[in-house]
Amino acid sequence: MATVPLLSDDEASPEARAVFDDIRAKRGTDYVNNFWRAMAHDPATLKAVWDRLQTVMAPGALDPLVKELIYVAVSTANGCDYCIHSHTAAARAKGMTPEMHAELIAVIGMAAQTNALVTAMKVEVDEVFKA
Amino acid sequence: MATVPLLSDDEASPEARAVFDDIRAKRGTDYVNNFWRAMAHDPATLKAVWDRLQTVMAPGALDPLVKELIYVAVSTANGCDYCIHSHTAAARAKGMTPEMHAELIAVIGMAAQTNALVTAMKVEVDEVFKA
Amino acid sequence: MATVPLLSDDEASPEARAVFDDIRAKRGTDYVNNFWRAMAHDPATLKAVWDRLQTVMAPGALDPLVKELIYVAVSTANGCDYCIHSHTAAARAKGMTPEMHAELIAVIGMAAQTNALVTAMKVEVDEVFKA
Amino acid sequence: MATVPLLSDDEASPEARAVFDDIRAKRGTDYVNNFWRAMAHDPATLKAVWDRLQTVMAPGALDPLVKELIYVAVSTANGCDYCIHSHTAAARAKGMTPEMHAELIAVIGMAAQTNALVTAMKVEVDEVFKA
Amino acid sequence: MATVPLLSDDEASPEARAVFDDIRAKRGTDYVNNFWRAMAHDPATLKAVWDRLQTVMAPGALDPLVKELIYVAVSTANGCDYCIHSHTAAARAKGMTPEMHAELIAVIGMAAQTNALVTAMKVEVDEVFKA
Amino acid sequence: MATVPLLSDDEASPEARAVFDDIRAKRGTDYVNNFWRAMAHDPATLKAVWDRLQTVMAPGALDPLVKELIYVAVSTANGCDYCIHSHTAAARAKGMTPEMHAELIAVIGMAAQTNALVTAMKVEVDEVFKA
């Protein structure tokens, strides 16, 4: 149960409904997932987040699959269950193989471990890394 | 100031010194960074972490640069200053351009934002993401 | 399923039961929520937390609704599902409108994003902010 | 030392420079703080974040000071030193008194404590909070 | 629903199956818990984590129960529900009494509170603590 | 530079000064560390935290050294630099040997790693752990 209502197409304001329609058009699917239906309680933020997400995740110096892997990594470190599920699914849709997934998970675990070791020891940053 | 001593080559035990030497050989540099000198207070863990790190970060289904980007993303989400500096430097050494770095940072910021939005709203995971 | 038992009125010790009664009296309701029933395994901590919570959340330089909004913000950043639900409900009971809730969520998301951006870039604090 | 350059007015691109100028105009000060100079390596993200920040932090159902208090709370929970300093300064500039600051800190501490207690006990959310 | 399959004995590779068998032998039980069945999608990481875990959690300068208490504390601070449940169960199996559990929870809550207070105030580390 | 003033004995209110004196008496030292001097801006919270800390950290079912180890573990997972330094120092003062410290750090790192692995895989809690 969410802390805000998940709006159906009929319940959403025209501004929110326009974003739903854009999501459908861009993704080539009729399905609008719960995140956007929850965000629809605030159409201005819904639109801002959807617009910005498209820009940030578009092909650029990094390809979209790599961006999804990074998204899963951040979501895991932040403990966002919804985001882990939705972006793992998105990564698969963009070509993530089981082998890539396994390596992604192993790197996340390794990083979490050394993050904790360094933090416990309060190691000072080497000058060479600041250059 | 770290909470454990950073051991010089002379202060390190033979087991730790052997890891230092392996780091030098594998990386083709004389420089051993502070993390390893701090870990040297516990030679068994030092060796275990170094050995495992090489395996996890080796070329595989994901290339080493992508793995470094993921490492920076996790380290940022975990707020590990040392790790952000050291792995940003490592990513650059493996070919991360300023454009790639800018996109990495933008994706990290975007993910952190939607992670927080989803968490505040406690959105339930769509069944389609669990398939 | 909690990692400690949730004690009913009959199962709770007299000290814990006294806190339950005080919660009922202060809140003007018969309902004692799960957090307190879980805390009842440790009556001394139960009492200390309940007493302190009342002091901290009382009207002062900040009004109780603002304090609840801050509580939701911290709980979201810490990923505490129970706390997000319970303090969102408490904020509503103290007058949070859907518009205020929407703005609260938007600020939380914005803060999470710039927190991550700053951390990834390791920006040094301006001297003017330390004055 | 940041992981990206902090660009001076002369080093910034025209797009980034335009944002610097807008920051100066909107804030009525010549000073552009380090966060924006660091973001200037990526003018598109700089502009997107600055534009969105103004919208989110504008007066609305919540007043700007309350929004700054929420920002400080999130930044504290996320451990973002720069953000704690900059938004504490911003809150003071918007009227936060020492008494309000003291209460803000006390609420943040209280929330962090009960967040941890609830999480350690894995207390299930009461049905009444989901209504 | 996990983001990777939980492999049964029949589905697991011979390498993963060998780890399952070792878990059974070392723990003196037929039951292999979900974490290991999930890790089995990546037999090399499964084996590395299982081997390392045994070393780290073995009796040493700290006894195994104290190590489990520390594990629960870290898992709580990291918000890992599975880990809180599994390591609380492990701590009980190693002798944690309800009184010890209550004190563990109280210390975790206290630490979370002062962590947040210190972070909000950005208190500088005393020189005496660095000696 | 803290976000609140660190009060000297002369600057502190009589209520805060009384807590400073109690800290000195209980610890048998003239030194009052920065945390308490920062908390002194809010004498009521200062007293509440100091009083509660003594209760929570007192000998009980867990001995004070074990409690300090747990405190360091939580502080590390929460990334609180001040707390890592101060409680590592406190643990040493209560008898933590370098060997114990090394094991503490190794457990923290191990827990952080498996926390992240479990979270990335979204492993469901085994029924046996809920009993």
**Nearest-angstrom CA–CA distance, D109 and B117:** 22
Q: Stretch F81-88: mean pLDDT, rounded? A: 98
Closest by CA position to B33, among listed B70, B2, B68: B2
Contact E4 A79 (CB under 8 A): no
Average pLDDT, chain D: 97
pLDDT value of position C130: 86
Let me know: does B67 contact B57? Beta carbons within 8 Å.
Answer: yes
DSSP alpha helix (H) spans, chain E: 14-27, 34-39, 43-57, 64-77, 81-93, 98-121
Q: What is the pLDDT of residues C20-58, one digit of tens each?
A: 999 999 999 999 999 999 999 999 999 999 999 999 999
Interface size between A and F, measured as CB pairs under 8 A: 60
**End-to-end alpha-carbon separation of chain C, Å?**
49
Verify whether the Cβ–Cβ distance F52 to C48 is below 8 Å: yes
Which tokens is A89 given?
A: 């699914």
Q: How far apart are CA A64 and CA A86, in angstroms?
A: 15
A80 within 8 A of C79, measured Cβ to Cβ: yes
Query: What was the pLDDT predicted at E131?
Result: 67
Best of D7, D70, D94 to disrupt the C interface by mutation (most C CBs within 10 Å)?
D70
Tokens 């818990």 found at: E33
- The reported pLDDT for the residue numbered C1 is 82
Tell how far CA D70 is from the center of its chain.
8
Return per-residue pLDDT of chain C as tens, 131 residues: 899 999 999 999 999 999 999 999 999 999 999 999 999 999 999 999 999 999 999 999 999 999 999 999 999 999 999 999 999 999 999 999 999 999 999 999 999 999 999 999 999 999 999 86
CB atoms within 10 A of CB D126: 18
* pLDDT tens string B17-26: 999 999 999 9
Band the pLDDT of B131: cuts 50, 70, 90: low
Look at the block and give the residue holding tokens 């300023």.
B98
Chain A, nearest residue to F74 by Cα? A120
Say how far apart CA F9 and CA F17 lie, in whole Å: 6
Q: Find where tokens 């094991």 sit.
A: F103
Q: Does C62 touch chain F (CB under 8 A)?
A: no
Instruction: Find, among E70, E102, B39, the residue nearest to F96 by Cα.
Output: E70
For B30-82, the pLDDT digits (tens) are 999 999 999 999 999 999 999 999 999 999 999 999 999 999 999 999 999 99
For residue F9, the surrounding DSSP H or E stretch is: none
Whether chain F has a CB inside 8 Å of the CB on E105: the answer is: no
Would you call A82 an interface residue with chain E, using a CB distance cutoff of 8 Å? no
Q: Is B41 exposed, middle or buried, given 0-12, 13-18 or 19+ CB atoms closer than 10 A?
A: buried
Phi, psi of A26 (to 5 degrees): -70, -35
Q: Which domains does chain E have, with CATH numbers?
A: 1-58 (1.20.1290.10), 61-131 (1.20.1290.10)
Q: Which of A110, A126, A115 is nearest to B33 (CA)?
A: A126
Q: Using the beta-carbon criterion (under 8 Å), do A110 and F108 form an inter-chain contact?
A: no
CB-based contact F80:E119 (threshold 8 Å): yes
- Nearest-CA residue of chain B relative to F77? B78
Look at residues C117, B33, F50, C75 and name the one whose alpha carbon lies nearest to residue D125: C75
> Can you tell me the distance from the alpha carbon of D13 to that of D47, in angstroms, rounded to the nearest whole number?
12
Chain E's closest residue to A83, CA to CA, is E3
> Residue F12 and residue F46: Cα distance in Å, rounded?
11
- Chain E residues whose CB is inside 8 A of the A101 CB are 3-4, 41
Please tell me the distance from the alpha carbon of residue B108 to that of residue B105, in angstroms, as a whole number. 5
Helices B81-93 and A98-121, interaxial angle, to 10°?
130
Q: Which residue on chain B is closest to C87 by alpha carbon?
A: B120
Residues of chain A with pLDDT under 70: 131
Q: How far is CA F94 from CA D22, F59, F66, F91, in A?
A: 56, 12, 9, 5
For chain D, residues with pLDDT lower than 50 are none
- Cβ neighbours of C79 in B, within 8 Å: 119
CA within 13 Å, CB half, F79: 23
| Residue from B73, B119, B118 nearest A73 by CA | B73
Q: E80: which DSSP letter?
A: -
CA distances from A68 to A74, D49, E73 (A): 10, 21, 31
Q: How confident is the model at residue E101 (pLDDT cuts 50, 70, 90)?
A: very high
Residues of A in contact with E3 (CB under 8 A): 84-85, 88, 101
> Taking CB atoms and an 8 Å limit, are E52 and B55 in contact across chains?
no
Q: How many CA atoms lie within 13 A of D129 on its CB side?
A: 22
Q: Do D130 and A1 touch (CB under 8 A)?
A: yes
Please write the tens of the pLDDT for every residue from E41-100.
999 999 999 999 999 999 999 999 999 999 999 999 999 999 999 999 999 999 999 999
Interface contact flag, F73 E75, Cβ < 8 Å? no
Separation CA F12–CA F6 (nearest Å): 9
* Residue (of B121, D88, B15, A100) closest to E119 by Cα position: D88
User: In which residue are the tokens 């909470």 written?
Assistant: B3
Query: Which chain E residues are closer than 8 Å to B56 by Cβ?
Result: 45
DSSP label at residue B126? P
Which residue out of E76, E107, E110, E122 would a mutagenesis test of the D interface target, given it has the greatest number of D Cβ atoms within 10 Å?
E76
Q: Is D105 on the interface with F (CB under 8 A)?
A: yes
pLDDT confidence of residue B1: 81
pLDDT bin (cut points 50, 70, 90) of residue F130 is: confident
* Helix count and strand count (H, E) for chain C: 6, 0
